[in-house]
Amino acid sequence: MKYGNRSIIRLSQYRNVLKRLYALGFLKVFSSNLSDAVGVTPAQVRKDFSQFGIAGNKKGGYDINDILKKMDGILGKDKVQKVIIAGMGNIGSALIHYKGFEKEGIEIVAGFDADPVKVKETGNVKIYHINKMYDFIRDNNIEVGIIAVPDNAAQAVFDIMVSAGIKGGLNFAPITLKMDQGCIMRNINVGVELETTIYFMNALKKQDELCS
């Protein structure tokens, strides 16, 4: 079964909310509760769930524990996913120090950098020189990589990742990586996000001016 892009994004969001609800002691939830929390319509929630084969109880809503299990299955949350990061600058360090991934079953296992000053092979999560990345990926069967190097280094670093066995991950560099099928990278371009937001802010302002 193949699900839509958007549906999977929302699935992950639903799951985050549900885990919090469950931790608070809640046992069931209505589509309208979830829709409020995630910022979509109730119909969207029900449509998504129906697509995922997640069933509720008419009048009784959905059983949180039940649907969390189903979601974990769909998202492949049965095993911890090991992730590496290339580039230990601003973004790379922020990610490697973030405590929030662990409880999502995502473990950052190592960082890599070309700058010897950044290397730190002691401590909790070790930072190695970039020329050790290929072997590390191979030896530890890493499949997920994060690109946090400057744009001009991104493609080269990514190519090494792929040749070593990386199958996907995130790219923070403001370029579009070239890759073959069989590899899935998602771009996070903060600059573009900001520009886009500012555009829609301006558009909204103009619209308001027209109405008044």
Ligand X SMILES: NC(=O)c1ccc[n+]([C@@H]2O[C@H](COP(=O)([O-])OP(=O)(O)OC[C@H]3O[C@@H](n4cnc5c(N)ncnc54)[C@H](O)[C@@H]3O)[C@@H](O)[C@H]2O)c1
Which residues are at the interface with ligand X (CB under 6 A)?
86-92, 94-95, 98, 100, 112-115, 118, 130, 148-151, 153, 157, 172-174, 190-191
Give the integer Cα–Cα distance in Å for 86 and 183: 17
145 makes contact, choosing from DNA, ligand X, its own copies, none, with CB < 5 to 8 Å by partner type, with none
Give the integer Cα–Cα distance in Å for 169 and 202: 33
Residue 21 binds DNA, judged by CB under 7 A: no
Rg (Cα) of the chain, in Å, rounded? Answer: 21
- Start-to-end CA distance of the chain, whole Å, equals 49
Q: 80: which DSSP letter?
A: P
Residues 85-124 that bind its own copies (CB under 8 A): 90-91, 93-95, 97-98, 100-101, 104, 106
Question: Shortest approach of DNA to residue 187 CB, angstroms?
Answer: 14
Nearer to DNA, 4 or 150 (CB): 4
Residues 160-179 that bind DNA (CB under 7 A): none
Residue 41 binds its own copies, judged by CB under 8 A: no
Burial 44-81 (b: 16+ CB within 10 A, else e): bbbebbeebebebeeeebbbbeebbebbeebeebeeeb
Applying CB under 7 A, the residues found at the interface with DNA are 4-7, 30-32, 40-44, 46-47, 49-50, 54-62
